[in-house]
Structure 1
Amino acid sequence: MEKQLLDVAIIGGGPAGLNAALVLGRARKHVVVIDEGRPRNAVTRETHGFLSRDGISPGEFRRMAEEEIGAYSSVSFMADTAVSIAGTDGQFQIETTRGQTFASKKVLFAVGMKDRPLNIPGLAEVYGISAFVCPYCDGWELRDQPLVIITKGTELLHFAPLISGWTNRFSVCTNGPDELTGAEREELQRHRVPLYDTPIRSIDSSDGIVRQVVLEDGTIIPCRGLFFKPELVTGSDLPRAIGCQITEAGMVDVDDFGKTNVPGVYSAGDAASRLHQAIAAASMGAFVAAAMNNELNMEAWRRIG
């Protein structure tokens, strides 16, 4: 494997990387999937919104995906971490923490995003159990429950109407200045949404289930769940290291086909999109894999001509 020139090295084995591997394997391309086995969604117990897989655990989803991809012998999996990448289109060199070196014509970054450390006491204990970031993924499980939303500014005025489709029993904690205009505060008041801008002292819970949010001024807000806006960074520094442009939001900048500004380098999934859902990442992985396969085929076609 080390001496073979692969068609595509996929860095990251989440839904985007796995679906890309499936499509490329079926296209008879030689592929390696390098994944360190520490996905961001490891904290969650179930994956939702994925047709035919609704409610499956992230670990079981990956196991089943790898089993299906195993039918295509040109795809290999490496439980490792890519630590460096060099070279140019047609001849990239990827090195891993275990000292493996892979040569590949193309590279696909499906590295996802990762959370910055959670700086609210008690939040880590409930994250993935009763505190979530995506109502499309977990809103059903908290329907009609009293919730606390932790966010502020323009994001808040997007999130409040959204969460109201699952429950109208929610309060907002901005954990400091709310960054709202007077008109925006009045809008929340019209909808009878309690707004607290005092910093959060702690989140109290029992067995992972939120009981209350306690503010620095002693205010106690009883609740049964939370939604919050996480602080995210790209799951690997390698895209930036090889020269990929990064957007202000911290994502890898790609065109409609998943191409980065670096020839031969693509990106898919959460690392290159705001649509942080498993089914969206898988869909993007399949689409970008098709674009990569087309580029590889065209290059081979032209060499013969």
Structure 2
Amino acid sequence: MKEKTNFDVIIIGGSYAGLSAAMSLGRSLREVLIVDSGLPCNRYTPHSHNFITHDGAVPGDIAAKAKSQVLEYRTVAYHQDIALSGQKINTGYQINTRSGKTFQAKKLIFATGVRDIFPAIKGFEESWGKSLIHCPYCHGYEVKGQKTAILANGERAIHVGGLVDNLTKDLTVITRGKADFSEEQWKSLERNRIRVIERDVVEVMHYNGQIKAVLFDDGTHENYDAAYAAIPFEQHCDIPVSLGCELTQAGHLKVDQFHQTNVGGIFAAGDCTSMFRSVANAVSTGNIAGAMVNHQLVQDSF
């Protein structure tokens, strides 16, 4: 049987947002193809939290169960591959993959997440998502009351510090260089008894991802049980921008309240569109994007 290449919708990214969008569309009998690399953004973390009914579950288990349920809908297909490029065609859009496959669809949904850019600090990546974390809502409860560092400077350090201060009183901000705080921010740190260390970090000392200490550039070290870090990111997929989709100042895909980009027929959901990097947000935005794509398909043909 010849492989199907034409669909109503192609969803690029098959983790929580993509699968959620696919379920909305599958329940409306839309012909959907999910193209997924199999490398979700949260593969570093052993447990997912703050997602009701799945609190503490293994992220891969949540995604596997979701995938099995979504693929019960006969109009939804899954193709493990990497989408390399895309172009506008008369009937919608064409997506070309690393394996040499070509698919067409009337609409696109990008649920491709973001790629964290790790600093050149030994042990950083190995600890990421375990005891070196990015989100107090996702992981903060599990390290409450512990001696904690925040690897950030300026406004970002103040933002995280305010959130984490409610979880532990043994807190240190490590600015990795000269501190960049206003007089008011310094007073806030002092008032809340948050120490500031202005030395750079050369190693996160850990055992199987569990932080033991932070080694500074002057050879000294300090013991910690956990740390938060604010690091830069980039879009995991450059196809949306190549098709004319705009980015926000922070680097996310710009979408409206219905998760449509500025390019007609292209939608986006999940981490690639929002600073709120959580399973719950990904599922919610994917659900909305799927429903809105179906609505647009209805408007196009009914």
Give TM class, smaller chain: over 0.9
Residue identity opposite 1:270 in structure 2:
D
The answer to whether the 8 Å contact 1:213/1:221 transfers is yes
Aligned to 2:218: 217
The reply to whether residue 52 of structure 1 matches residue 53 of structure 2 is: yes
The reply to whether residue 251 of structure 1 matches residue 255 of structure 2 is: no
Residues 1-305 of structure 1 mapped to structure 2, 5 A cutoff: 3-88=4-89, 90-301=91-302
Q: Matched residues in 2 for 1:24 and 1:83: separation? A: 24
Residue identity opposite 1:66 in structure 2:
K
Q: Matched residues in 2 for 1:197 and 1:82: separation? A: 42
Please report how far the alpha carbon of residue 220 of structure 1 lies from its aligned counterpart in structure 2 after TM superposition: 2.3
- Give the CA RMSD over aligned residues: 1.4
The answer to whether the 8 Å contact 2:36/2:81 transfers is yes
What secondary structure is seen at the aligned counterpart in 2 of 1:42? coil
Which has the larger displacement, 10-19 or 206-215? 206-215
1:40-82 alpha-carbon deviations (Å, 9 max, x no partner): 1101001111111111112111110011112200001110000
1:145-186 alpha-carbon deviations (Å, 9 max, x no partner): 101111111111111110012111111101112211122112
Q: Matched residues in 1 for 2:256 and 2:238: separation? A: 20
Please report how far the alpha carbon of residue 88 of structure 1 lies from its aligned counterpart in structure 2 after TM superposition: 4.5
What secondary structure is seen at the aligned counterpart in 2 of 1:154? helix
Q: Matched residues in 2 for 1:89 and 1:226: separation? A: 51
Please report how far the alpha carbon of residue 19 of structure 1 lies from its aligned counterpart in structure 2 after TM superposition: 0.2
The answer to whether the 8 Å contact 1:2/1:101 transfers is no
Q: Matched residues in 1 for 2:138 and 2:72: separation? A: 30
1:235-291 alpha-carbon deviations (Å, 9 max, x no partner): 111111111111121111111111111111111111111111111011000011111
The answer to whether the 8 Å contact 1:112/1:235 transfers is yes
Ranges in structure 2 where 5+ consecutive residues have no aligned partner: none
TM-score normalised per structure 2: 0.96
Q: Matched residues in 2 for 1:196 and 1:219: separation? A: 12
What secondary structure is seen at the aligned counterpart in 2 of 1:139? helix
The answer to whether the 8 Å contact 1:88/1:263 transfers is no
The answer to whether the 8 Å contact 1:16/1:281 transfers is yes
Please report how far the alpha carbon of residue 120 of structure 1 lies from its aligned counterpart in structure 2 after TM superposition: 1.8
TM-score normalised per structure 1: 0.95
What secondary structure is seen at the aligned counterpart in 1 of 2:69? helix
Please report how far the alpha carbon of residue 200 of structure 1 lies from its aligned counterpart in structure 2 after TM superposition: 1.1
Residue identity opposite 1:214 in structure 2:
L
Ranges in structure 1 where 5+ consecutive residues have no aligned partner: none
The answer to whether the 8 Å contact 2:118/2:231 transfers is no
Identity of aligned residues (%): 33
Residue identity opposite 1:246 in structure 2:
L
Residue identity opposite 1:174 in structure 2:
T
The answer to whether the 8 Å contact 2:173/2:197 transfers is yes
Please report how far the alpha carbon of residue 25 of structure 1 lies from its aligned counterpart in structure 2 after TM superposition: 0.3
